Amino acid sequence: MDKYLTVILIFMIVGIPISFLDPSTGEIRDPPYLGLFYLSIAGIAIIVLYSSYKDRKERQKANAKRRARK
């Protein structure tokens, strides 16, 4: 995974507990920020899918290059 995507992934993972806990007091929020929670989950899913797609494309290029040498 790219280092930029890793940093964004870390922020998404940190956003999940923030949606349920108040950072200033540490107490559980009465109405949690469900929007932040669902956006973090969606962002994590998008990052994982994009990185696997990118890796698959790189592997296909490497395989094509390896086959072309023969």
Q: What is the pLDDT of residues 16-52, one digit of tens each?
A: 999 999 888 889 988 989 999 999 999 999 999 999 9
Q: How far apart are CA 48 and CA 1, in angstroms?
A: 9
Q: How far apart are CA 24 and CA 28, in angstroms?
A: 11
**Neighbour count for residue 32 (Cβ, 10 Å):** 14
Report the pLDDT value the prediction gives residue 70, as an integer from 0 to 100: 62
Q: How far apart are CA 47 and CA 49, in angstroms?
A: 6
pTM, whole model, 2 decimals? 0.78
